[in-house]
Amino acid sequence: MRVIIAGSHGLIGSALVRHLHEGGHDVVRLVRHEVRGADEIAWDPDAGRLDAADLAGADAVVNLGGAGVGDRRWTAAYRRTVLQSRTRPTSLLARTLAEVDGGPRVLLQGSAVGFYGDRGEEVLTEASPGGTGFLADVVRAWEDSTGAAVDAGVRVAHLRTGIVVSRSGGSFGRLLPLLRLGVGGPLGSGRNYWPWITLVDQVRAIEHLLTAEVAGAVNVVGPEPAPQGEVVRAIARELHRPAVLAVPRFALRIAVGEFADDILASQRVLPEVLTASGFTFTHADLAAAARWVTGRSG
């Protein structure tokens, strides 16, 4: 397949490009800088600039772009950045896909489990209603931005991604070094559910959804969400390190501001649609994920 990817330099995007290349796919990146080769297409989402002709002949678009929600404190200005960095590029892609002849008929659109808000121990599937809060509102607007493509008959799947377990980069890129040193532990009470998925399964799921006839919301998470404290302790066990130095909520809030409330949110999310579509996980349980992320399995 010829696949166009936006957000190809982030944690998931970089891994996806490698994975698709290894699978024999033809990958083209949407970039904001001057084009440097045949595998790049220039665009400018802020200026609303994307040549529809550049999308012709491709089979699918994967859009993973967006400013990091944990990169800075949530000032009013950065809240606008978080929202607009998602809705502007997505709207432009959707409008362009609706216009182009002979272009991609599949859009796999980045999204997040933040849609569900903080829901305690409630089991959440794609049929569950959205929650409340800043991130829930952002995700709603983000997903709504694909409307032009949906109306034009493009198959659009919203990739509601959870906590991505990775060996470097992302949230786990910060957590793993602390656990290796034996100075990590649960955040807050540790009882909030984390809907985790390994980076390996994240990119495998995206490749699967390129051809699976799935549209609408897709929870891209593992089949066994676990309390956050259990996730941390499972990794610490594989490292033969303690995980007893809990980080209190107030300290986390001092460190990262309002984002602390979302780190400590509880989202017991299940991948009902993904599983029903025939996808099988490489790391289906927490023990397997812990072995992989610590380098004790392939």
- DSSP for 79-145, written as a single string: HHHHHHHHHHHHHHHHHHHHH-TT--SEEEEEEEGGGG---TT-EE-TTSPP--SHHHHHHHHHHHT
Where residue 175 falls (left for φ over 0; alpha for ψ -120 to 50; beta otherwise) is alpha
- Sketch out the chain's domains with CATH numbers: 2-293 (3.40.50.720)
- Describe the strand order of the beta sheet including 40-42 as a list of residue ranges: 40-42, 26-31, 2-6, 60-63, 106-112, 155-161, 216-220
**pLDDT for 102-152, tens place per residue?**
889 999 999 999 999 999 999 999 999 999 999 999 999 999 999 999 999
Q: In which residue ranges of the chain is pLDDT below 70?
A: 255-256, 298
Cα atoms found within 13 Å of the Cα of residue 119, Cβ hemisphere only: 20
Asked whether 159 and 211 are in contact (CB, 8 A), the reply is no
The label of the residue with tokens 């302790």 reads 233
CA dihedral 174, 136, 130, 142 (to 10 degrees): -100
Where residue 255 falls (left for φ over 0; alpha for ψ -120 to 50; beta otherwise) is alpha
**pLDDT for 170-184, tens place per residue?**
878 888 888 999 888
Residues 6+ apart with CB under 8 A from 267: 113, 116, 117, 118, 119, 124, 162, 192, 193, 194, 195, 225
Per-residue model confidence (pLDDT) at position 252: 78
Please state the separation of Cα 229 from the chain's center in Å: 21
Q: Is the dihedral of CA 162, 168, 170, 176 positive or negative?
A: positive
Cα gap 3→278, rounded to integer Å: 21
Asked whether 290 and 243 are in contact (CB, 8 A), the reply is no
User: Which two structure tokens, joined as six digits, stand for 31?
Assistant: 């970039």
